Amino acid sequence: MKRQAKTRAWHHRHVHDPYVRQATEQGYRSRAAFKLMEIDDRDRLLRPGMTVVDLGCAPGGWCQVAAQRLKGQGRVVGVDLLPMTGLAGVEFIQADFTEPSTVLRIHTALGGRAADLVICDMAPNISGVAMADQAKTYALAELALVFACRCLQPKGAFLVKVFQGSGFEEYIRSLRALFKQVQVRKPGASRDRSREVYLLAREIRDIDRAVALD
């Protein structure tokens, strides 16, 4: 009964969410598109001519924003285990980004260039057990960090979703050890009651050390 009540409450919030309505009206695939737009308006991450990798991209809201803001100049590669309907200006790879074969496919899709920006709005499948779900979240975030450090050019940027709580401070310390700038962002489109925040890391401190990550 408690699970049913929670499901009904989530459905009510979702249906009445202004960002959900805006996403539908404006043709975006998810409300998350507005989170990336707000962060980009503030931090100017996306520019024509860039190479961008979107990890965990389905259903494609962030890919849409990236492709729009590159204005047909540059490359956007989206990667996800789940299927995604094609998007203009986006090359989609349905695969596990932690697999070496997938990394090779991504580099090929980028034309052999290092990425200027890696974005990651992934979340694990939620079990309802808070500690286990938090641990899964940071396991994914760690894998995304390893990928970013191996894929980014030295002055590139990495934007990743995490949740405040256990593991948060440790993860920020990892970012600060590897990047010159690390900032916390909580866009308006992120629900107030949610513990989610976005960490923006720029400019790898030591590219050799970053590439050597296990």
Mean pLDDT is lowest, of 6-15, 88-97, 142-151, 184-193, for: 6-15
Pair of tokens at residue 78: 């989206």
3-state secondary structure 71-118: CCCEEEEEEECCCCCCCCCCEEEECCCCCHHHHHHHHHHCCCCCEEEE
Question: Amino acid letter at 106?
Answer: I
Q: Which residues contact 2 (CB under 8 A, 6 or more apart)?
A: none
Q: Which residues contact 161 (CB under 8 A, 6 or more apart)?
A: 120, 121, 122, 123, 141, 196, 197, 198
- Give percent of the chain above pLDDT 70: 87
Q: Which residues are catalytic?
A: 161
Q: How far apart are the C-alpha atoms of 61 and 99, rounded to whole Å?
A: 24
Q: 0.85 cut: is pTM over it?
A: yes
Each residue of 78-136: pLDDT tens digit? 999 999 999 999 999 999 999 999 999 999 999 999 999 999 999 877 777 888 889 89
Mean pLDDT of the chain: 88
Q: Which of 153, 158, 87, 83 is nearest to 119 (CA)?
A: 158
Look up the CATH superfamily of 30-211.
Vaccinia Virus protein VP39 (3.40.50.150)
Q: How far apart are the C-alpha atoms of 33 and 24, rounded to whole Å?
A: 11
pLDDT band at 64 (very low <50, low <70, confident <90, very high): very high
- Give percent of the chain above pLDDT 90: 70
Q: Which residues share a beta bridge with 118?
A: 53, 158
Question: Amino acid letter at 89?
Answer: G
If one counts every other C-beta atom within 10 angstroms of the C-beta of residue 98, the result is 13
What does the domain layout of the chain look like in residue ranges?
30-211
Which residue matches tokens 């404006």?
26
Question: Amino acid letter at 24?
Answer: T
If one counts every other C-beta atom within 10 angstroms of the C-beta of residue 162, the result is 24
Question: Amino acid letter at 116?
Answer: D
